Chains A and B, each alone.
Chain A
Amino acid sequence: MIPLRKAMPRAGVALPLAPAWEGERVQVRPTRLVLPLRLTRLEQSEAVVRVGDKVHAGQILSRPLGIGARGLRSPLGGRVEALSVRPVSLPSIFAQAAGPLPLPCVELGGLDFSAPREGAWRHLEGPALRERLSGMGLEGEEGLPLDLELDLLPPGSRLVIMALSQAPALDAALLEVESARLEAAVAALCRLRDLRDAMVLHAPSRRESASRLVARLSSLLPAKAHSVAGGHPWSQGRLALCAAGLPFPSPRRTLASQGVLVCGLGRLLAIEGQLSQACPGPFPIEVQSWRGTRHLPEAAGSSVLAEVWPGTPLRDLLTALGRDPHHARELVLDGHPLTASPLLDPDQPLLPGHLALGFLPDPALPSWAEGPCISCGQCLDICPLRLTPVRLARLVEEGRVGDARRLGLESCVDCGLCSWICPSRLELGHSLRKGRHLLREARHGA
């Protein structure tokens, strides 16, 4: 048996994305973004924008459906050109096994690459807000998803930071220790929401650290930040809202639509985390070209690191690399060449998770003519799990998935080495993928 780490160099495969990139970089400016509303096979979301809507960088495009799902935010400002359903190869390995899936997508055109802060944030009120909330099934709800709450803030909103919650010790610690992140959170909010000013409510014993935070926030905001020291958290909250001219208690969405965002320190840190994720910037894709045939002994020339906005169609990357997407007689691979799927559609959007793309340019690519298995046993020798790939593949093709399972079908790690080494060019790995897919289906069906 050849250990995997030895077999990989034999396959001539370079591991993608070295941590520090010293080679050439290319920035891809897409003409349009195609953003699928499902990030994995299971995670679904639903569009909350309509064709013709103008959106801004970081704006919510979809709301999550189901537990654990994520909504989608726009990486760039632009206009919604279409809500389409198109085949998309998702980057996860499990999705790849299923091939391109028809997914609902938001297509943005007229992209605005200028600073994301430009332009006013969407502000809904009155009937428009009610309509939107009822459209999202949120009418009458007390709590709002944080995303939506942020989305509802009008320009010139006020941030109320409550540093005196029912866990004063925690607040004190956060104020002392996390002041840099709090500042970053407020800066991110300012960038996206045009905040006017901030008020920090704090315990009298934390006056000093609260003042430091207030001083820093003042430099970020158009109007001066204030701090209010007080007794019990509840009375502090009432005090703060009264100072803001708002009724207390008041539902979050009312506060948000009235231009007040009330946060504890923990929530503020959560916002910072969410904002840094939710407003996705360009991500790196390593692009390698390989010389010769599919045997891939070596990469030809140096690789290029392309910086790609999520949703950039493959054709824009090809164009940026000086390749003609209409005459690309080459295979565009997504990911590791031993397990990658080919990306066949030039409109396929590139998504974070598409880590490395490779091109195998050769007009004389040999076809994978399958020969008969000659029982050479090389697939057994190379399998890192010591499986019998040829036997498993045969069982799967005969429909005996249960027997294949007993022989370890599910422990196959889909490394692709068995197919790589087979002199008869049998698609062993593919058959095993198919087998595992059938097993999963059977399990879900049961």
Chain B
Amino acid sequence: MTSDLATHPSTALGMSGQHGNVSPTAPAPGDSARAPRLPAPRFSRLAALFIDLALLLLLPGVSLAVFAKPMARLAPNPFSGDALPPARWFFLLLSIPLAFQVAQWILFAATGRTFGAAIVGIGWERPDGRRPGILRALVSRSLPILIFGSALTLLEPNSRAIWVRAGLALVVIGVLLLDALGILLRRRSMRDVASGLFAYARDLDKPRAFEAPRFSGRASAISMLGVLGALAVSSLVYVLFSHFNIESTSIDVPSVAAGVSIPLSLVIVGALAAFAARRFVVGELALTALLTGLLAYEAMLTKVVAVPALQAFEVAGFLDWSLYALSAYFGIILCLILGSALGFMVASDRGADASTKFERLVARRHLRLKLAHWLELAVIATLLPIVIYGVFIWPVRTVWRLMKGRRGAKPLPPTVFMALLTIVGVMFGVTSLNVVLGVMGGFERDLKQKILGTNAHGVVHRSIGDFDEWKKVEAKVRSVPGIKAVSPFILAEVMITTNDEVAGSVIKGIDPDSATSVTDIRKYIGKDEGSLTYLAHPELIPSDDDLPQGVLGGGTSTSGGSGKILPPPQPTTPKPVLPGIILGREMALQLHVWVGDQVTVMNPIGDLGPTGPVPRSQVFRVAAIFVSGMYEYDSKYAYITIPAAQKFFRMGQAVTGLEVRCDNPDEARPLMRQVRETLGGFPYETKDWGQMNENLFSALRLERVVMAILLSFQVLIASICVIATLVMLVVEKRKEVATLKAMGAREGSIMKLFVLEGLIIGGIGAFYGSAAGFLFCELIKKFGVGLDPQVYYITRLPVVIQPASFVAVAGIAMLLVFVATLYPARRGGSISPAEGFREE
């Protein structure tokens, strides 16, 4: 029964004992426990490696930041007048981090260590010889430097700041000294460290059973190059798309394509790395993230200090900018990790294995899900009338039924109950997100409608000189395909007064005939509130004929220095024909006037008199009152005819510009660009409605984004519930995991299984949330939620149901849930059969 092979090389398997120590020489079997062996290196080699790479990368940046200024004073800025040639200056700068590093080495050499070990030895062990752990070590080592570095970037480069910088540098040096002290006080001998290091180096990348290799050089190379590659790919995509010049109206296709290509290629990179190592390569990705982050950080740090142009970041928008950079950075890490998780789940040693058949089966069974339940779900979701039942009553009854247990068997395990709670959590998150986004989208749509009603879709201006030739331009603009109507306008700011009220106003001269084809002004005039036709025919305005003199007299007296345009009161004519004006209702209320009343329009910068500008004024008769629904318009705008405006503002035949209506308002931007081209550019300028109201829309969009982020926290919390549920599930199913593994399920397969369980939970929640959100939105639409029109200026809560937004919300929820599943699923996957069976 003994092996026929008499001898074989040392039985060392390079494999783990209980604690994962790597013993350089394997003890003979049998006396393994008592054999004296080298004490296990008690530190985290990875931690040490990370930290020291970080230091190596950080120190140059930090020292550059510290010394750039004094250096620059020593040798003037190479970018401008240079006393030292730029190359020398550069080497001088380089020498600083080198000096730093050498100083560090000397420090360690002085404590009796070799260089190599000294580099690794820094900062990982506490004086009492206990291992600080990777996180602690990282934090304690890098945090001061990071804080220091960040503080540096925020400082303004002036002379006093140099002292602050020097102080911060002292802090860093102090940390280094403390480290050295810690190492001095440490009793363990140098040889442990060295032997541990060699053992580690030897075992890198060596496959071991039950204990995956700790570090895969291939995977980290792939991920590192991949990140750079992704950036390269994105610029390639950008160039390609710009080259093929795909026309789109609302989005910038090349940018979007390039933007999409980055996360996609990062996911692929992560997957490739996982494939290369056949492992969920968290450590390697962490290294990549750290290195790329540090590179980027250092680049930023260095540039902020050295390049004057980038110092703008220090002053304006630095916070914004760094927030963007930070979120982009986390985005990169997230994509890599997602890709790696996917790759690991799919990578089997037989090639790719993307099937989830058996995993789905087990996952469904763990969650006690049956096809019948799914059908029930589908039916409920499609039949809107019974969604209420589906959303509110059916789940309660289902939970009740499930909790009581099936076929009189034992009741469900607590994990199933937790899963149900989690579903409810996700559902609430998704519901509220959908409803709020629907309402905010409604506000935006409302605003857009109103803006499009009162405003034209676009305007044509002349940037210099009087716009006298507008008739010719109008004809040209009208000939552009896609343009529906064109109308001239005059715009100016005036004051409108009555006997005892005054209001600032934007007065707009319009051509009553063509203006109605450009804006919805006609629609905004109520039945008993005058008429647009009165504008052109003021003699038709009904007015209190009994009091024309009195009112007129009042009007003239207010106008003070009566202008030349003001028709002198003519007692012989019972009713002087005054030009008509249309006011917004808010303004009319403020001025206490109604249709037929008179108002005085004053141009504050009228004529230049001997003592400065003398206001000019004219009396108008209110021809109509309009209500656009936008407070800003209804309280500000007033309309008169173009000839009246030309006369009042003494513009001759000129107008301010042309208003344009397009066939499709969403096409306004490219169309207006085209109009500009048709007109030959300068001196003509065009703007579309979006540009005219840029601030309003961007504020609204910002509000929407902020709300979405805030409400995403709810989904985030729900996905934390997913973590909790899955962790419990993993604990509960340890033995079953062991059994499945004994039957040949891969680690990745088990991970897939738990990820699926999380996704099922999240999916049901997201589905219900979407359904409930839809229902809510429909209800709001149908029955309406009244708003105080005095406050909101709309009578009902607007809501818009956008399928894309629903899909996006569900997608975000699923993404968060997916990320949440990774940790517990990974834990579940790594349960070894021996561990799993030990339970009993």
- A-B complex is real: no
Which A residues have a C-beta under 8 Å from some C-beta of B? none
